[in-house]
């Protein structure tokens, strides 16, 4: 009795952590991309840099979730034709089905490599753009603030 209860707790914990480990990183990618999207209308030294920032921010926000959705969709298409292990083995013995399944697998890998590659390139560009934008900052940042204006006081 106690062993069955413990096994159920362990299995539920595995499911919880599996869902958590799959969901949290996707949420983090959306948050990071969303933070970069906040700068959509900020001023940039050139129009190219402004447009590149916007494109890279969209890539940051969408590449990982889209890669996940497309990858799982393709995996579902591949598994749809092989509902259980026995059918999958029989399909793999058939040359045409084996090629079809391997093409789906290669397509899934290609989509994931492309998605994460685009994500890495976009992150690198945004990292460099942050430092490149420092070459033409507004002159207002060089003004000395009057700190007493920000402190509460009684007159």
% the chain with pLDDT above 70: 66
Note the pLDDT of residue 22. 63
Assess whether pLDDT exceeds 90 at residue 12.
no
Note the pLDDT of residue 129. 93
Task: Give the pLDDT band (50/70/90) at residue 47.
Answer: very high
Nearest to 59 by CA among 127, 128, 118: 118
**DSSP result, 117-152:** HHHHHHHHHHHHHHHHGGGG--GGGGSPP-GGGTS-
| Residue keyed to tokens 């996707």 | 26
Per-residue pLDDT reduced to its tens digit, 129-144: 999 988 888 888 888 8
């Amino acid at each position: 009795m106690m062993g069955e209860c413990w096994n159920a707790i362990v299995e539920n914990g595995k499911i919880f952590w599996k869902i958590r480990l799959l969901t949290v990183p996707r949420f983090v990618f959306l948050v990071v991309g969303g933070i970069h999207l906040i700068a959509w209308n900020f001023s940039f030294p050139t129009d190219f840099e402004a447009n590149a920032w916007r494109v890279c921010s969209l890539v940051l926000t969408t590449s990982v979730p889209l890669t996940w959705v497309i990858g799982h969709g393709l995996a579902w298409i591949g598994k749809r034709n092989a509902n259980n292990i026995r059918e999958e083995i029989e399909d793999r013995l058939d040359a045409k089905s084996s090629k079809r399944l391997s093409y789906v697998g290669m397509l899934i890998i290609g989509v994931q490599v492309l998605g994460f590659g685009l994500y890495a390139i976009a992150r690198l560009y945004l990292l460099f753009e942050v430092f490149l934008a420092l070459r033409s900052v507004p002159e207002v940042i060089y003004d000395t603030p009057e700190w007493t204006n920000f402190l509460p006081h009684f007159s």
